[in-house]
Amino acid sequence: MYLLILEYNLIEELKIKDDVMVGELIACLVGLGLPTISAAALPLLIYAIPSWKQQYHEWSVASSQKLKLEDDASNGLYGRLKESLLSVKGQDLQKEVIIDSICGWSESKKNNLDCKLGGLVIHLAGVSGTGKSMVANILANELSKDSAIRISYSSINTFDNRSCADQLFGSYIRIAAGNVKVKCNTEYSAQLMHNPNVIVQIDEFDKFMMRDDSLQALLWDISDTGRLKIDKDTYIDCSDTIFILTSNASRESLKMKMDKLINDDSDTLELVNFKQAFLNRIVSVYFEDFSQETYKEILVDRLESIKNYYLEKYNMVFNFNDDVLNKISNELVGMKTGGARNIGIFTRKLYSAINYFKRRNGISESYNENKYDLDVSYNDKKFEICSKNEVSSK
């Protein structure tokens, strides 16, 4: 019986689950006189099977990109990250903390200022809709692009009796054709094993923590030693890996938790079991609720895109005055949860009002030769649209 130790990516990308290909592997092992084959030696075996050679090469190149932490000719890392985050409205202090943390960690790595420096763990917390995931996505795209590893609680189809850390970054045994035992790394641990120099984005981290605190222990170890433990015999060097975590929590509950942490003898926080020693090792950034001015900035951008769409497609010009922006942004501030996602409530109301105006005035579903110059008002939580000059000539 042969024990094949394969990476999950290769099993998926090369379709090794196919019985014929498992048979080819066993035939090669027999021919080479090998009882086992490890993930490290697998590329040599792959190249011995001509039909797999090109496929493996394409997979290898695509998944071996590294973090882009170097300064470019025109802009340093700080300037590059700051420019990339301009699209995120508000949270200016929070963005500065994140950028400074990445730049400081990168500088320490580059100059060997701290030989014990492990991977970087950044935790973005705050109510839903305040820009946490957007910041995490932008950083992942800017620093890792296609090689970034993205994990979310809702993307896990089923949870078994393993811990969250084992299910995401562990290994398992699969029985293949001919009763062959195949030791496989999980999808994410295989990606990290192949290329640990990446961004790992974990959304809804608080939900993982509510199941168990194994991810906390794993990230604690990575922050301290830079090592990610897959099983008792296997570690991945993640000292050059950046983990970005996002959690949904209100400012009030976070303040309550931090007060408890500071004033209580307990070493845990309420609701989610964040240990003080863990918090001391990571960069924690709390995203505040948006102010009315920030909501107005976001609204201006959103309404501008709507105006451009209807102008180009229907030759309709919408005019929004400051009173509309003030009323909507004031309502948004009054909503305690949802953040910028609540803007969708108002845009849907606006679309309904536009469609009603089009039906009432017989406006066709195509570009109109006559321009419609329209005023938009917002009263009693409803949009009203009226023509400025009835219908004006183009």
Closest among 180, 181, 183 to 170, alpha carbons compared: 183
Give the pLDDT mean for 196-213: 89
Tens digits of residue pLDDT in 295-337:
999 999 999 999 999 999 888 999 998 899 999 999 998 887 7
* pLDDT in the model for residue 273: 61
Tens digits of residue pLDDT in 129-160:
889 999 999 999 999 877 889 999 888 877 88
- Residue 287's Cα: distance from chain center in Å? 16
**Burial group, residue 244, by CB count within 10 angstroms (0-12, 13-18, 19+):** buried
Higher pLDDT pick, 286 / 13: 286
Fold (topology level) of 292-387? Helicase, Ruva Protein; domain 3 (1.10.8)
Whether 41 has a pLDDT exceeding 90, the answer reads no
Can you tell me the distance from the alpha carbon of 263 to that of 143, in angstroms, rounded to the nearest whole number?
39
Supply the pTM of this predicted model: 0.74
Task: Name the one residue in this structure whose structure tokens are 């000719």.
Answer: 73
Residues of the chain with CATH 3.40.50.300: 77-162+195-287
Counts of helices then strands in the chain (DSSP H, E):
16, 14
**Domain 77-162+195-287, CATH homologous superfamily name and number:** P-loop containing nucleotide triphosphate hydrolases (3.40.50.300)
State the CB neighbour count (10 A cutoff) for residue 87: 11
* pLDDT in the model for residue 1: 35
* pLDDT in the model for residue 21: 55
* pLDDT in the model for residue 330: 92
**Burial group, residue 74, by CB count within 10 angstroms (0-12, 13-18, 19+):** exposed
Residues of the chain with CATH 1.10.8.60: 292-387
